[in-house]
Amino acid sequence: MLLTGTSADHFKRLSAHFRAGEFACRHCGVYRIDTRLVDSLERLRGVIGPVAVTSGYRCAVHNARVGGAQSSRHLISDAADIVTVGHVPVLDVVMHAVRLFDGVGVYLTSAGSAFLHVDMFTGRKNPYWVQDHRRAEPKVYLPTVGELEAVVRTWGKVNT
């Protein structure tokens, strides 16, 4: 089911711990969000602790401004970029996220912290990916959880 609204609904609860405003487009204030995504984020939160959504739904204008892919799942309403509240090792977050989401991307920032992209899209050949911005490396797509885990382990002690 798709939940929709505008910035007027900013404080509307979508679940026990998430509000509409967290998923709203930073450009137009509209939110469109798949309830499966919210449910999976709640389950992830139950295991690793508080999670903050840094990007949810994006309109086409905002997606272009932030350099999002033309086929971004943020445009479809079933994706979110997240960080944890506190210092949770990225590998712990990744290993729980792969059980709850169909797509998981892990980005290591130039500052040395990480964030995750999670989505509910099942149609990918390679559902996992990583990108290390410290080394300005291109995005690498991976077909298995084991390969994702191996790459993230090479990053050492990184928190989300």
Q: What is the pLDDT of residue 159?
A: 80
Q: What is the pLDDT of residue 19?
A: 96
**Domain covering 2-154: architecture:** 2-Layer Sandwich (3.30)
0.85 exceeded by pTM: yes
- The rounded distance, in Å, linking the Cα atoms of 96 and 48 is 8
Q: What is the pLDDT of residue 147?
A: 96
- Where along the chain do its domains lie? 2-154
pLDDT of the chain, 160 residues: tens digit per residue: 999 999 889 999 999 999 999 999 999 999 999 999 999 999 999 999 999 999 999 999 999 999 999 999 999 999 999 999 888 999 999 999 999 999 999 999 989 899 999 999 998 999 999 999 998 889 999 999 999 999 999 998 888 8
